[in-house]
Structure 1
């Protein structure tokens, strides 16, 4: 039971959704699907481009010296599927408050870090450049951190940074793996 003067946010959000026009609802669904397609689709395109030069199917990758804590290849697809979905949901939630034009900075920073994410795949997997890919993953970590900080400042959507915690944790681990592979294969 709500106390006098208290606002039940769950109830208020439900009421707002019920009052939403069909056009607004379809726009929201479209934008959410768009963010998911952008994240999953971008990864899919990068994976297709690098399919023969990345992972267990790649002679180059198989011949790399890897640290003992290098994760098995089968782990990457499900982990990244979840991470990209969480990224899409966070970006969508921010978009519902900022749009693309009202306050563009949060989504601009999001798109920059996503571009760095995809660039890392190309530089590591296609160009096979361990040094440059390590520099890119370090820039990506900065981009993820900035995205989290800026998402946290969006009024009513401060919780969105929490959706990016698994992403920054995995990318931090990946940067340690990336540096270790670079260090073990300098010769």
Structure 2
């Protein structure tokens, strides 16, 4: 039983991070933005992030079980904080320019997790691969929307 409690903590941390999408919801401002033709439908983002956050939680837990707290968990926490901040910048402050810079930092934090996780838990590392792929796509989408709308769209 005590083995599962830490997993619950990782799920709680990930879904607290996911709450940024509800706190800083897209809303009317986002609907008015020019978007590329390949922009996914709005309904896809919730399920995609839900699956990703489950994978991120399990990845963190697998690594924590092997090494406890240290560099790997510091990087893991950093990427969660950066993930939370993106919604605040893009939707909350309506600043796709700042959000893009922040997303680049998030991408490198995820990459660092992948490299640090690899020798500790191959499964933990593998569970982070879809996350960096989705964030790469999100970065291209953020960049494209910035080009279409400017740094401070009305």
| Greater Rg over alpha carbons, structure | 1
Q: Which runs of 5+ in 2 are unaligned?
A: none
Q: Which runs of 4+ in 1 moved over 4 A?
A: none
Which of 148, 156, 164 is residue 128 of structure 2 equivalent to?
Answer: 164
Report if the CA contact (8 A) 2:17-2:81 is conserved: no
Which of 8, 33, 37 is residue 68 of structure 1 equivalent to?
Answer: 37
Q: CA RMSD in A?
A: 1.2
1:90-149: CA deviation from partner (whole Å, max 9, x where unpaired): 10000111112xxx0001001101111100011011001010000011111111100000
Give the Å deviation of 1:153. Answer: 2.3
Equivalent residue number for residue 57 of structure 2: 88
Structure 2 residue 23 is matched with structure 1 residue 49: yes
How many residue pairs get aligned? The number is: 151
Give the Å deviation of 1:159. Answer: 2.9
> 2:17 and 2:86 mapped to 1: Cα distance?
12
Higher normalized contact order (CA 8 Å, seq sep 6+, divided by chain length): 2
Q: Which runs of 5+ in 1 are unaligned?
A: 1-24
> 1:48 and 1:176 mapped to 2: Cα distance?
22
Structure 2 residue 117 is matched with structure 1 residue 151: yes
How do residues 113-152 of structure 1 correspond to structure 2 at under 5 angstroms? 113-152=79-118
